[in-house]
Amino acid sequence: MRIAMIGAGYVGLVSGACLADFGHGVICIDRDPGKIASLNAGRMPIYEPGLEALVAENVRHGRLAFQSSMREAVAEADAVFIAVGTPSRRGDGFADLSFVFDAAREIAGALSGFTVVVTKSTVPVGTGDEVERIIREANPSADVSVASNPEFLREGAAITDFKRP
């Protein structure tokens, strides 16, 4: 698959490197040109055991790349992951979803062909519906499905692992 990972922080960079290691073509996108320059030079902006070697290996094999422009990567992607920050809002502590919604608007303008848009950021229930609404409002002809891949699930976890209260 061709994957665009919006965000190259803890969630996006690690997820992107792992997806590339599975054999997918991944482009990690971040608005911070300094971060992209560092990644392209092989310097990791975060510490995660084994990440530097994993990134280097997948870059060398052409499965992982970094850039600051979203349009072309999203247009060519089969799946677009939104892995941007959701900091706590001042005052009420709820997640600030503005970066997620901004990404959805920008993705909408770049979609080409059927694409799965996946929220990877830590978001509350219902965010996927709002992401889909934003995309369809900005691009009514978009051929898109929206899914969620929470970053906090442990490896191998399945929905059946969780019991109702």
Average pLDDT along the chain: 90
Query: Which amino acid does the sequence have at 134?
Result: I
DSSP state of 134: H
Q: For residue 132, which phi and psi values (nearest 5 degrees)?
A: -65, -40
Distance CA 152, CA 115 (A): 24
| Domains of the chain, start order | 2-148 (3.40.50.720)
Residue 161, pLDDT > 50, answer no
Helix (H) or strand (E) holding 159: none
Tell me, what's the pLDDT at 23? 96
57 Cβ neighbours under 8 A, 6+ residues apart: 21
158 pLDDT tier (thresholds 50, 70, 90): very low
Q: Can you give the pLDDT at residue 157?
A: 41
Give the model's confidence band at 87: pLDDT under 50 very low, under 70 low, under 90 confident, else very high: confident
The b-or-e profile of 119-133 (16+ CB within 10 A means b, else e) is bbbebeeebbebbbe
> How many Å apart are CA 16 and CA 11, to the nearest integer?
8
Tokens (6 digits) for 14: 């690690």
Vertex 57: Cα angle to 54 and 60 (nearest 5) = 145
pLDDT per residue over 91-107, tens digit each? Answer: 787 888 999 999 999 99
When pLDDT is averaged across residues 81-93 and rounded to a whole number, the result is 86
Answer yes or no: is pLDDT of 11 > 70: yes
pLDDT score, position 32: 94
**Cβ–Cβ under 8 Å, residues 119 and 84:** no
pLDDT of residue 163: 37
Write out pLDDT tens, residues 39-69.
999 999 998 999 999 999 999 999 999 999 9
What H or E segment, with its residue span, contains residue 26? strand 25-29
